[in-house]
Chains A and B, each alone.
Chain A
Amino acid sequence: MSELAIQVDRIVKSFGSTRVLQEVSLSVPAGQTLALLGRNGAGKTTTIRILLGLIPVDSGSVKLAGVDPALEPLKVRGQVGYLAEDQTMYGWMTPIELCRFLAPFYPTWDANWARDSLDRFQIPRHTRIGRLSKGQSVKLGLALAMAHRPPIVILDDPAMGLDPIARKEFNRDLVEHLQTSGSTVLYSSHLLDEVEAVADAVAILDAGKIVRSDTTEALRDDVKQILLSFDSVFGSRQPDGLLDVRRYGDRLALVMENAGAYIEQLSAQAIHYEVVDLSLDEIFEAFVIGRTSDWPNESTSVPVPV
């Protein structure tokens, strides 16, 4: 796990006067599955396009398996299995024709594996791709992305547009494949339930910046919701690492980064509290839309018991 498969070091990218990525850094060790989380427009697809050498960076550096995609894009793309959101393939080809077409571009193409995948995913081999269902197309995309047994797989919101059942089915197939392949995976999504099951680590991208990057377990341990009474913290200084504050009558729900330290502080002050574990979805929400303006200070109205 120590060797880095994907290394992104302080990349900056602007389109015109709009800065899309600001000093983004990522490190993905070989064999790890990293979920790149972000809202629409956060910069996920731009990051992935830079990783594939499709667009250049303004500054910073990128390496995939030790290769700079800006300098050797074809070498990088040969080692990467990529599946994009709503990707279209040649509609007049059949799945087996597309496999034949792609095979010469990948020295490691495993034709038997590709055929087996088509069968396993129940994709008709000789039906034109334009006539496949949306779910079948996405699964075909996955089979094609994995058929050259790539050491690195990049998935950019692949299940977007599928209905909930088809998405679950696709994710089940995806998990099976990822567990057996041993590939390094960068999975970009804003559908958290998809990635929670497969992600070893998480990077949260917001407005072009990485706001948090850690292993999934460490993130869950570090970010907690703390429930306490309004009065107990009224007038005190806003703690470091506060991500979100919600007020429910005379109760407060805080979402804290580095929650352990704050919990110790509360215990030392003999303040009663409850700790709630958060899902990845809730953690993500706290990072990107969390508000701390409700922290009770002098200007906040004090609840009056009725």
Chain B
Amino acid sequence: MNSLVWKQWRESRFVFYLLVAWMILSVSYTILYELGHGYRAVVGSFSSSAMLYSVVALIVLAIRTSQGEQADGTLSYTTSLPVSIRRIALVRILGAVGALSIPILVAAMILAIALASGLVEQAGPRPMDPYDRLLERPSGSLLTSLEQLLSVTAIAILSGAQLLVLLCLFGCWLRSQAQVGLLGAVLGLGSMVASGLLWFGSRKPFFQLIYGAIVPQSLVVHWGHGESAGSYTDHELATYRWMSLGLAIPMHVILAWFFVFQYGVQRDSAKTSRLFRISLPAVFSGLPIRLPSRLIAMIWLELRQSVPLVVCGLLFAALVTVAGIAEQSWRGYDFGTLMRSDLPHTVFFTGMLWSVVVGSGLYSADLVSKLGDFWRSRPISAGLWFWCKFVVGLTTVLLVLDGTTSLLCWTAPRDKLTSGMSWAYVACMPIIHALMFSLAVLGTCVLRRPVIGGIFALVSYFALTAIVEAFPATMHLEPLHIYNEILKDERAGQFVIARSDYLTVYGAFTIAIVVNAVLAFRFSQSLQQNGDWLRMDIFASRHLVKTSNS
């Protein structure tokens, strides 16, 4: 058993160090931001950042846990060892849960010390009246603040662990790490939707108790507030949260148990994945299509790859919209009108995720050696390959996601700031989506791993906005703040696109899109994979060098 634990540690320690660093940086940012602004909202900020961390970390960990040995080709060797595969699976899943949880605990301890030392304070718990502002509430006692911190820590750990185990379980049947990553992104976003879908809060505490056991994320709800000098996150905890969490633990254990058994049984992913392959008819194959030139052939190839992927994103956005409609009042509209009214707001944030999925997905397969060898050995220039993929992929994202949404929703009611289509959307969102797409392409071409490339894109964007938001002098440059200002002006009858902030920020984004693409092109040309350090065993290789030297 000790050997298995040691192997697990050696395999995952690089990721673990990264995750610990992430959470320490995150909690440091929370404390410094609080020291600068004094909102007394550290627990809410910590909770929301821990939730975001959980989603990203669980995807990375689930990929390695469920598919790592298949990808490395070591599973058959591992199964030949004189140890039960179930025991190996148990160590893997426990190791992954530990790697997810410990960084959150470390960060929570740092924040607890800051609270206990009086460095920062936390406002008292959110009362029943949802309109009571945090800034007007008195500070909570140390004991209350620590209990709040303990609650959000436990919720972040258990909600992350639940999705991690679930994703690992599904990963046993999937074919590749990329598929696990894509499913993880959908599950992560789905869990965020689900946490609000049937959120009862303090209105129906017993329903919340049950629902919280199934969806632990729903035990805390975050409320973002913008002030003139900054922003803060308020939070509200479910009344019977500890009982819910207590009920959630046996469900986690059952899921983990399933994983342990499935990891043991489903060893040949190639065979089992056939069960999950959707057998769509090859419609285009029977059509007598003639591709008259190389350029048209490449465009056709990229359209065939990108359109289905982006359409899935639009359907996903529609599903999220339906979920959103289910949890709100219909304001006297029929379902279709409500869909058209709410879809733009959903596409705005799901589009950010899906642009990343499409950017990573389009490039990743062509960059790996097997398919890479195929097209590289043909008279296809690297420039034609890259730029066709980039232009066609980006155009598809913008036309299918933003274009379709704009056309469908232009005449929809605009009775709330976030409902209906607007010129502000047209001016801002396609540029943000294009930026995310280009970042994902850059990440994938540099790192040669779609999921890590996608995470690179998301982390880059959110880190950038966090830095911009951290300083009062640059807060007004936050891209969504600019969008909101333009939207407010538009709804007030004054649509001014030529604001200096808009031109500065979105102009810079446009330049960044081009720069990202050029850099990605340069990195994509190399035949050799240069992302080997991401195998997460660099320390092991150093050790080998030392050993051989000695």
Contacts and interface: CB of A to CB of B under 8 A. Distances in A.
Interface of A: 15, 49, 52, 54-55, 74-75, 77-78, 80, 82, 84, 86-90, 92-94, 96-97, 100-106, 125-128
B471 to A, nearest CB: 44
A-B pairs, top 8 by smallest CB distance, nearest first, are: A88-B370, A94-B285, A78-B379, A77-B379, A82-B377, A126-B285, A74-B379, A104-B297
Contacts of B380: 74, 105
A101 B297 contact: yes
A102 B292 CA distance: 11
A66 B272 CA distance: 50
25 contacts: A54-B376, A55-B527, A74-B381, A77-B378, A77-B379, A82-B377, A87-B373, A88-B370, A89-B371, A92-B304, A93-B304, A97-B284, A97-B285, A100-B289, A100-B290, A101-B291, A101-B297, A101-B300, A101-B301, A104-B292, A104-B296, A104-B297, A105-B378, A105-B380, A126-B282
B141 to A, nearest CB: 61
Nearest to A84: B373
A126 B528 CA distance: 34
Contacts of A54: 376-377, 527
Given A90-B301, A100-B291, 15 more contacts: A15-B528, A49-B527, A52-B377, A55-B527, A74-B380, A77-B378, A77-B379, A87-B370, A87-B374, A92-B305, A94-B285, A100-B297, A101-B291, A106-B379, A126-B282
Tell me which of B292, B305, B370, B374 has the highest count of chain A C-beta atoms within 10 A of its own C-beta: B374
B527 A104 contact: no
Contact of A104 (B285, B291, B376, B381): B291
B476 to A, nearest CB: 46
A103 B379 CA distance: 11
A86 B289 CA distance: 29
Interface string B291-307: 11110110011001100
A125 B285 contact: yes
Contacts of A104: 291-294, 296-297
B246 interface: no
A201 to B, nearest CB: 23
B279 to A, nearest CB: 8
B118 interface: no
Tell me which of B293, B301, B528 has the highest count of chain A C-beta atoms within 10 A of its own C-beta: B301
Given A97-B285, A100-B290, A89 B381 contact: no
B215 to A, nearest CB: 35
A97 B282 contact: yes
B336 interface: no
Contacts of B296: 104
Given A87-B373, A92-B304, A102 B378 contact: yes
B286 interface: yes
A97 B289 CA distance: 9
Nearest to A145: B377
A259 B27 CA distance: 78
Nearest to A49: B527
B304 A126 contact: no
B287 to A, nearest CB: 9
A127 B377 contact: no
Tell me which of B286, B292, B376, B380 has the highest count of chain A C-beta atoms within 10 A of its own C-beta: B376
Contacts of A74: 379-381
Contacts of B294: 104-105
Nearest to A45: B373
Contacts of B289: 100
B282 A94 contact: yes
A104 B378 CA distance: 11
Contacts of A55: 527
Tell me which of B284, B290, B377, B378 has the highest count of chain A C-beta atoms within 10 A of its own C-beta: B377
A89 B379 contact: no
Given A54-B377, A104-B296, A88 B371 contact: yes
B251 to A, nearest CB: 36
Nearest to B372: A88
A78 B380 CA distance: 9
Contacts of B528: 15
A129 B67 CA distance: 24
Nearest to A90: B371
Contacts of A82: 377
A126 B379 contact: no
Nearest to B376: A54
A74 B304 CA distance: 24
Nearest to B368: A88
Contact of A103 (B291, B370, B373): B291
A77 B382 CA distance: 13
Contacts of A52: 376-377
A86 B370 CA distance: 7
Tell me which of B294, B371, B378, B527 has the highest count of chain A C-beta atoms within 10 A of its own C-beta: B378
B285 A88 contact: no
A272 B296 CA distance: 73
Contacts of A128: 282
B522 to A, nearest CB: 16
Contacts of A103: 291, 297
A105 B379 contact: yes
A92 to B, nearest CB: 7
Nearest to A86: B370
A260 B300 CA distance: 62
A187 to B, nearest CB: 16
A126 to B, nearest CB: 4
A33 to B, nearest CB: 19
A102 B297 CA distance: 8
Contacts of A75: 379
